[in-house]
Amino acid sequence: MSNQAQKTALVVSAHSADFVWRAGGAIAAHVKQGWKVKIICLSYGERGESAKLWRKPNMTLEQVKLVREREARAAAEILGGDIEFWDIRDYPMRIDEATLFRLVETYRQLQPEFVLSHSERDPYNFDHPLAMRAAQEARIIAQAEGHNPGETIIGAPSVYAFEPHQTEQCHWEPNTFLDISDVWDLKRQAIECMEGQEHLWDYYTRVALQRGVQAKRNIGITAKRAIQYAEGYMKLTPIVVHHL
Amino acid sequence: MSNQAQKTALVVSAHSADFVWRAGGAIAAHVKQGWKVKIICLSYGERGESAKLWRKPNMTLEQVKLVREREARAAAEILGGDIEFWDIRDYPMRIDEATLFRLVETYRQLQPEFVLSHSERDPYNFDHPLAMRAAQEARIIAQAEGHNPGETIIGAPSVYAFEPHQTEQCHWEPNTFLDISDVWDLKRQAIECMEGQEHLWDYYTRVALQRGVQAKRNIGITAKRAIQYAEGYMKLTPIVVHHL
Amino acid sequence: MSNQAQKTALVVSAHSADFVWRAGGAIAAHVKQGWKVKIICLSYGERGESAKLWRKPNMTLEQVKLVREREARAAAEILGGDIEFWDIRDYPMRIDEATLFRLVETYRQLQPEFVLSHSERDPYNFDHPLAMRAAQEARIIAQAEGHNPGETIIGAPSVYAFEPHQTEQCHWEPNTFLDISDVWDLKRQAIECMEGQEHLWDYYTRVALQRGVQAKRNIGITAKRAIQYAEGYMKLTPIVVHHL
Amino acid sequence: MSNQAQKTALVVSAHSADFVWRAGGAIAAHVKQGWKVKIICLSYGERGESAKLWRKPNMTLEQVKLVREREARAAAEILGGDIEFWDIRDYPMRIDEATLFRLVETYRQLQPEFVLSHSERDPYNFDHPLAMRAAQEARIIAQAEGHNPGETIIGAPSVYAFEPHQTEQCHWEPNTFLDISDVWDLKRQAIECMEGQEHLWDYYTRVALQRGVQAKRNIGITAKRAIQYAEGYMKLTPIVVHHL
Amino acid sequence: MSNQAQKTALVVSAHSADFVWRAGGAIAAHVKQGWKVKIICLSYGERGESAKLWRKPNMTLEQVKLVREREARAAAEILGGDIEFWDIRDYPMRIDEATLFRLVETYRQLQPEFVLSHSERDPYNFDHPLAMRAAQEARIIAQAEGHNPGETIIGAPSVYAFEPHQTEQCHWEPNTFLDISDVWDLKRQAIECMEGQEHLWDYYTRVALQRGVQAKRNIGITAKRAIQYAEGYMKLTPIVVHHL
Amino acid sequence: MSNQAQKTALVVSAHSADFVWRAGGAIAAHVKQGWKVKIICLSYGERGESAKLWRKPNMTLEQVKLVREREARAAAEILGGDIEFWDIRDYPMRIDEATLFRLVETYRQLQPEFVLSHSERDPYNFDHPLAMRAAQEARIIAQAEGHNPGETIIGAPSVYAFEPHQTEQCHWEPNTFLDISDVWDLKRQAIECMEGQEHLWDYYTRVALQRGVQAKRNIGITAKRAIQYAEGYMKLTPIVVHHL
């Protein structure tokens, strides 16, 4: 298979661990199916999502970032994704034009089939919806022929919101369940790279089991397919089909 | 191909012409792809959707029903669907238990992959959401092992709401576009069977063209696929997938 | 002015006092402008909205109804509306087909420009949304040529939800403010006919004052028109205009 | 403590096992705190939620009901609730006036501080929202002095929707977390009475753990209170307080 | 008629062609009725909505802007509107304070009866909601006596959202239909000035026909008024009236 | 009682009078119960909410600010709150990082039990939702150990939206009523300090009376507690409890 034919996907993660809990299964599953998956970590979550590290003595911002990068890199390697760290700061995150346009270029070079990012609303975390917003605005600009004319524009990659921490308050409603039973071991390994957030390991294992039960229910109890672990996604863009 | 292997779909139409305007393309497309599609017309729309007929002299309710059945039967034949008329009255429509259970039996005998019915809200037409509600409640009962134990229960057929007449007031939002370019001729022929509602022929031709343009946009202008006519659907049930 | 030319309006009130608090100003204002306004009281509110009467000794259901009818009739007379009592019971109210069709006939005979009824949601009162639902379903049936063929069908009278008791919980949002300053005295007089609910007199006087202030704000502080009292309405049907 | 002073609560459960999964912790916790909790099982879930039983040989409707009642009674005993079985049929459930008025009487005799029932929307289960609707309408009628005049009316008991199976699709959003760590053992024991639905035991154990983590987060990581298990509730009625 | 008495309206268009497709009929109709209509084109849509131009050889940004301005100016002339080009860039558009205050001044000088702009949500186009947001914020500032004290403040011009390209995904719901049958020829001529977007000519002709049919339906089939073409608007501000 | 034990609350007011109309009762009630309440006035409302002052001769921005500060300070003194004026400009208000971080520091030093600010939506006032947004984002940052490490982070103070001017258009729904009958006199005195907005004195007195009636209704007519004046709040954060 030539390189052009390889399908690609993009993950836009506000903080460097988000992609693991929320989309680790999708990354591993698509990589296993021959896809190239690129992960952009907009920040390290160094201020807002590294509480355990900050409780260690003599910790500095640089130190926290180093540990966070090491953990995320290890997780990405296990999942098979290509990871980049853009280090634009968190809590609060702000997206300037340079970051927006860099995201546009990423779309154009990658030409992804779909993009995964955060829910559009999250009262517990303002960085998350901002990352999704940037992912969507960059996608629209990457479709525009007048932006850097001459470059290859993108088509209309599907946009999915992965699962936030407290789904109901985020008005996030899963309309797509991805069966990740085959790659669960990889996801759990990746999860265990996040040493600074050990309290979340079992939480997201339970999330995967619950979504597995729900996925099973949504194909009907008469279906023979076994599903043990799943990830929920909220697809935001319409699908175009030849049969329903 | 054995009969068991043939995929099936169910259309629940409040009035005997609804299925033509709103789902004619889906019926023709799936039939063309080898599916069996069953159409249930809960009523003839004899009171509420036959204005032109009633303006003729000496018209009676039976007369109107006859004409409406003839038109719908002709349309179904063109599209390739199997049609049934349940004649439960319209304006207002009411669903009693006998009708509900008859719908349950239809699910069980047909074992459809999906069901198409009306939008869940329609301030212009109270029969439409009622038909969808019955389609959904019957689906749930058909899944229950305690209803007529011994019969084969159904799995979890997808539920789609087809397009209402004034979409925005119905809070109907298409998340699925079905390309019906290949079967448009059949849909137009079926539409033209509806002699009593000629004022809608061009209206729904324009709907198909608009949805075609939108479908094209949702696959991206770089896509090579040409789409001229489409139908929009609002999928109400989650999908379970192995890749996004 | 011939009788045909007189404009008409319909008010569908679940209980016999509702129309006073919520639409008394509209009734008086339109009557003053030469309209005929018909008020249908589906019930007397004899079980659910007559607490004070029930605390009197030796009270019976018939007694309560008599008092309620007397009060409502007095209020309607002050406002200038034509009132009917259909006595279909409240708490819980149920609408059978006879009532629905009677409402259809009322539409057809009256040919109203608009209809006023309750909010579509009210967690404090299940009779109210039911009355509105009947008002809407009857309106649709009255438009159908196949219902009692030969009768004159109606056009598309506007539908307005008048103000519920606790607006925000009812998701009722006023998009129309009616200036009732000129007829406020009549509304207050009508309110004072409701001897059994004296605790609401000042409540609804304050409502009228608040809506007056808001109406003023919505025409801008530069407008010269003085508005002291107003009623809020939520228009549910679109308007068709020749200029915006 | 005299009997009058004992606080009471009401649980309206569509099917005979619902109260266990969804409100078992609340029942046990309040009983432990000296409350009387009454559980109404509107049906046994004999048709729609007894799949495993129906797969046994020679099963009859009566047999299924007997087993379901035995299981639910055992669970209620462990939790300390008073249980009643009204046997009004499920799948589909319908609420007639006799049932509605019986519920009204239950409110009046019990005079509960709060009522727990299902979510107001559930696309997977039409019996659930119906049970909640009846719980709400009966509450309103029980407040009306004109219903069975002379009886003691009720105040304004809080209404809570307990957690549905697939929360997001039900638009159920928890605004109240109840710490059930102290009574978790009882809830798990009650859960294990449900022999026919063993596949749900671990599912609802995980639900309790997830809600526990979320409850902890919502009091802040600086709080000293440990919470391991919780139940989520959506409070539908406003609260009146002397301080925020 | 003195100049002061001439009524005025404001159109805030994100890109230089938007006003044609979406509000061309309103502009022409009001001009025909003696109004002055000012059109602000915040950008030329030079980057995001000029795909066809960019496919021509040796195209530059300045060239694209020139063509776009020429086309828009021609369209405005046909419609009779006064057009201004503010050239603030698109894809992404950003509104700085200078632009916001310039818009404030425009309101104050024009003193419009109403303002037309984009839908408040558009997942396909982030410039559109931003333009509407600026139109609304500027309106509020223009009402404030403390902004440039001494200038004449404005009243409360109505705010309308004109029709977006994919209405349902934008949660745009038309509550106002403007009959543009009398000026359709002018709108079509203006549309044909947009040479770079010829693929949209028929799309928006069909939009006008569909809205015409819907407008007709919303006045009722008994109405004698013929409506062939219409534009849909979502009015965001309440109306204050003397009769309903 | 030691200083540590004193409970605290924070009020974030976009303009210097907002806290009086909307939260004056809450401030007075909590101060009376021994709490310390800090009020942050982000601006004086000098441009947008001082119309009456601007109509005086020779008025300057500084003059307006002085009067507004004097009035707000007098009101805060009556209520017992500690007030700060941050003077960041209004109409339009913008929140830069310095202001955001200053708010973070305020949270950390105060360690409030709850925060009161504006509704999340207000089509009549864009400064209001912005102030609430800043209040929420600062709260989240103040919880982050990586922000100014070494400082004491905050827990999870409850967030309440106080009542906007036109509630329904703001989608503000009160789920919490605070009985302010005991402190009403203080609130009215504080209101009367706002000499520049005398037209609102009675408006907000009526608001308090209406909310009082509603609060009474929400505890039930059988409750003995008398409530004459209340304030409505929309609680945005979940509560964690040991009994319902």
pLDDT tens-digit map of F169-178 = 999 999 999 9
A101-160 residues touching B, CB cutoff 8 A:
113-114, 116, 143, 153-158, 160
Pairwise pLDDT comparison (E5 vs D136), residue with the higher score: D136
Q: What is the pLDDT of residue F1?
A: 38
How many C-beta atoms surround the C-beta of residue B200 within 10 A? Answer: 18
Confidence of residue E89 (pLDDT cuts 50, 70, 90): very high
| Residues present in chain C in total | 244
Q: What is the mean pLDDT of chain F?
A: 96
CA gap C186, E228 in Å, rounded: 44
- Structure tokens given for C1: 């002015």
Interface contact F126-E144, CB threshold 8 A: no
- Residues from chain C contacting residue E158 (CB–CB below 8 Å): 244
Q: Is E169 on the interface with C (CB under 8 A)?
A: no
Residues of chain D numbered 68-107 and touching chain F (CB < 8 Å): none
Can you give the pLDDT at residue B1?
Answer: 38
Chain A residues closer than 8 Å to F146 by CB = 46-48, 50-51, 54, 61, 64, 91
| pLDDT for E4 | 58
Which residue(s) pair with F160 in the sheet? F116, F235
Output D225 or E182, whichever has higher pLDDT. Answer: E182
Contacts of C172 in chain F (CB under 8 A): 168
Domains and CATH numbers, chain D: 8-235 (3.40.50.10320)
Residue D4 is predicted with a pLDDT of: 58
pLDDT in tens, F188-222: 999 999 987 888 999 999 999 999 999 999 998 77
E210 CA to centre of own chain? 19
Max distance between CA atoms of chain E, in angstroms, equals 60
ipTM of the complex: 0.95
pLDDT for the residue numbered C2: 44
Would an 8 Å CB–CB cutoff place B59 in contact with chain C?
yes
Determine contact, residues C200/C71, Cβ cutoff 8 Å.
no
Any idea of the CA torsion for B80, B86, B89, B94, to the nearest 10 degrees?
-110
- pLDDT tens for B111-146 read 999 999 999 999 999 999 999 999 999 999 999 999
pLDDT at F223: 78
Touching subunits for chain A (3+ Cβ pairs under 8 A) = B, D, E, F
Q: What is the pLDDT of residue F163?
A: 98
Cβ distance F155 to D221 less than 8 Å, yes or no, reads yes
Q: Give how far the C-alpha of residue A175 lies from the chain's centroid of Cα atoms, to the nearest Å.
A: 17
Residues B145 and F244: their CA atoms lie apart, in Å, by 36
CB contacts of C49 in chain D (<8 Å) are 144
Contact residues, chain A, for E47 at CB < 8 Å:
141, 144, 146-147
Q: Quick one: pLDDT at residue A4?
A: 58
Q: Which of A169-178, B116-125, D211-220, E93-102 has the lowest mean pLDDT?
A: D211-220
Give CA separation, B213 vs B204, B216, E55, in Å.
Answer: 14, 5, 21
On the question of pLDDT at E3 being above 70, the answer is: no
Is the model's pLDDT at E2 over the cut of 70? no
The region that residue E163 occupies, defined by phi over 0 for left and psi between -120 and 50 for alpha, beta otherwise, is: beta
Name which of B124, B199, B206 is nearest E206 (Cβ-Cβ): B206
3-state secondary structure labels for all residues of C92-157: CCCCCHHHHHHHHHHHHHHCCCEEEECCCCCCCCCHHHHHHHHHHHHHHHHCCCCCCECECCCCCC
Contact E173 B174 (CB under 8 A): no
Chosen for mutation from A166, A171, A234 (greatest number of chain D CBs closer than 10 Å) is A166
Test mutation, F30, F33, F233, F243, chain D, max D CBs within 10 A: F243
Interface check for A55 against chain F (CB to CB < 8 A): the answer is yes
* CA distances to B77, B185, B187, B207 from B182, in Å: 17, 8, 10, 16
User: What pLDDT, in 10s, does the model give residues F115-156?
Assistant: 999 999 999 999 999 999 999 999 999 999 999 999 999 999
The closest of E113, E12, F91 to C222, measured between CA atoms, is E113
* Two tokens, residue D59: 């099963």
pLDDT value at position C1? 38
Is residue E128 pLDDT above 70, yes or no?
yes
Q: Which residues of chain C have pLDDT under 50?
A: 1-2
Quick: pLDDT tens for B56-108: 999 999 999 999 999 999 999 999 999 999 999 999 999 999 999 999 999 99
CB–CB of D236 and C123 under 8 A?
yes
Q: Is E167 on the interface with B (CB under 8 A)?
A: yes
Chain E residues with CB under 8 Å of A149 CB are 54, 59
Cross-strand pairs, F161 = F117, F234
Residue B166: closest C-alpha in chain E: E214
| CB pair distance less than 8 Å for E123 and A236 | yes
- At residue E5 the predicted structure's pLDDT band, cuts being 50, 70 and 90, is confident
d(CA D207, CA D197): 16
Instruction: Write down the pLDDT at residue C4.
Output: 58
| CA dihedral angle for residue B187, residue B188, residue B194, residue B200, rounded to 10 degrees | 110
Q: Please choose, from the candidates D154, D195, D172, the residue with its C-alpha nearest in 3D space to the C-alpha of residue D8.
A: D154
Phi and psi dihedrals of D153, rounded to 5?
-75, 170
By CA distance, what is C120's nearest residue in B?
Answer: B123
Q: Do B61 and C238 touch (CB under 8 A)?
A: no
- Peptide bond before residue A92 is cis, with ω within 30 degrees of 0: yes
Model confidence at F13, pLDDT cuts 50, 70, 90, reads: very high
pLDDT above 50 for D10: yes
Structure tokens at F218: 């929400």
Q: A176-179 and F239-241 as β-strands: parallel, antiparallel, unpaired?
A: unpaired
Bridge partners (DSSP) of residue E179 are E230
Report which of residues A174 and B195 the model is more confident about: A174
Is residue A82 within a helix (H) or strand (E), and if so which, with residue range?
strand A82-85
Q: Say whether residue C236 is in contact with chain E using an 8 A CB cutoff.
A: no
Contact F173 C168 (CB under 8 A): yes
D-chain residue closest to F159, CA distance? D244
pLDDT attached to residue E230: 98
Structure tokens at D193: 């009475």
Q: What is the pLDDT of residue F221?
A: 72
Q: What is the pLDDT of residues C44-83, one digit of tens each?
A: 999 999 999 999 999 999 999 999 999 999 999 999 999 9
| Least confident residue range of D196-205, E166-175, F230-239 | D196-205
Amino acid identity for residue A29 in this structure: A
Contacts of B103 (CB under 8 A, 6+ apart): B12, B40, B134, B135, B138
Reference A131, options A173, A166, A191, A89; nearest CA is: A89
Query: Residue F82 is encoded by which pair of tokens?
Result: 């500690």
Q: Do chains A and C touch (3 or more CB pairs under 8 A)?
A: no
Residue F114's beta-bridge partner residues?
F9, F158
Edge to edge, what strands does the sheet with B36-41 contain? Answer: A239-241, B176-179, B230-235, B158-162, B114-117, B8-13, B36-41, B82-85
pLDDT above 70 covers a percentage of chain C that reads 98
Q: What is the pLDDT of residues A6-51, one digit of tens each?
A: 999 999 999 999 999 999 999 999 999 999 999 999 999 999 999 9
Tens digit of pLDDT for each residue in D224-238? Answer: 788 999 999 999 999
Could you say which of B100, B237, B238 has the minimum Cβ distance to residue D92? Answer: B100
Which of D100, D149, D237 is opposite residue C92, by nearest beta carbon? D100
Which pLDDT value is given to residue D1?
A: 38
Q: Give the model's confidence band at D44: pLDDT under 50 very low, under 70 low, under 90 confident, else very high.
A: very high
| Helix H or strand E encompassing C137 | helix C127-142
* Distances from the Cα of E45 to the Cα of E49, E69, E93, E120, angstroms: 5, 10, 9, 19
CB contact under 8 A, A141 and E92: yes
Using pLDDT thresholds of 50, 70 and 90, give the confidence band for residue A55: very high
Which residues are bridge partners to E9 per DSSP?
E37, E114
- For β-strands A8-13 and A36-41, DSSP reports them as parallel
Which pLDDT score is estimated for B182? 97
Positive or negative, the CA dihedral F135, F136, F142, F147 is negative
Contact A85, A69 (CB under 8 A): yes
Strand, coil or helix: what is C225? coil
Q: In the 8-state DSSP scheme, what is residue E168?
A: G
Q: Residue F49: list chain E partners with CB under 8 A.
A: 144
Interface test with C, best of F49, F55, F206 (most C CBs within 10 A): F206
Residue B54: phi and psi, rounded to 5, are -65, -20
Task: Place F4 in a pLDDT band, splitting at 50, 70 and 90.
Answer: low
- Picking from B46, B47, B50, B55 by the largest number of C CB atoms within 10 A of its own CB, the best residue to mutate is B47
Listed in sequence order, the DSSP H helices in E80-193 are 97-110, 127-142, 184-192
> What are the residues whose beta carbons fall under 8 Å from the beta carbon of F134, sequence distance 6 or more?
F12, F42, F95, F99, F100, F103
Band of residue F225 on the pLDDT scale cut at 50, 70, 90: confident
Distances (CA, A) of A237 to A161, B170, D92, E119, E166: 10, 20, 35, 18, 12
D91–B147 CB contact, under 8 Å: yes
